[in-house]
Structure 1
């Protein structure tokens, strides 16, 4: 059965899922990359960026691999897709990832401004959804078939789907860092009240992997 999941989402000890001041040079905001030190050393990440090496089979690599497995569609917020704000000035921006993004499946981008779909290499097509989170999820479910849908971020998008109780499983990676400022993932959310509980916990040298499920 198809499920709606968040997977491989880094969060600092002080609760931030991204740094402040996103820009072309800091896609995840200031110090945002520090949230993913658990990920960069894995074979999964190295393979994705065309590099050899990386750890194989350790806790981090297992979770990194799972974070991209069995997804038939993805949903991203506008800020996750890029730093452009307001109306699209033109069609030049096609995401952070180059000609072959890592999704390899239909990917739905939440936005207030219409834009034609973008067909990329490797099976990724970006569709721009102006009707909100439920419209994006309906379209993603139809595209995914029996596979899962991944809510890929950013923080605001994950928060909206959590608040609506639309996420079945949430894998967060608690990184042993303090960002101080940024985008708070859980601020104002009563996860227990929304039906979520921690169902799994694994600790690596780099982070603590926590799985939350909605009962």
Structure 2
């Protein structure tokens, strides 16, 4: 998620749902994840802007789990920019609360990404972790996870790490329909409009149709909202 747009962009739309129509958002998430309930974790306070909250980064929402933090530092750089979550919450499935890590997109440009780690050591550490994730999910080692769709791949790496640490979690990608970002951006106006984008991603990443985390990775397509939380038209 990038800079907050005034009336457009994935961050704006997600915050609008959370503020004006959390009931509909939670209901859609429950249907998508087959869960009974959803709760959201407020972001950490921003020390530079009192009263404002920041995005959760990496696994700092689990800072109380010292052994897990130690294991994470062994496989991911402690410097640079870790995965930033557009939202963190929990879903209740079978009476058990499980973590929900949310990534939101509003236009095609938000899907493509490259690894920007400048340190050779950090890049090698990331590459090793991505390679281990590919092996765990049955992906060919030749697939390039550092370029093309790096953000999607490092989110899978986080989910796989939590799975291996016996921390129940789900990864939710929210794709907004009907954004008006402009500036030449391709903003899908229908759910079908996202399908080609995601198919190109799937072919590049090489995720098989069946893999150990398939029940924990979800796609949710949501129409953007108009003024005061009113749903925008769905074409």
TM-score range relative to shorter protein = 0.3 to 0.5
More helix by share: 2
Q: Which has the higher contact order (CA 8 A, sep 6+)?
A: 1
TM-score when normalising by structure 2: 0.30
Query: Which structure would you say has the larger Rg?
Result: 2
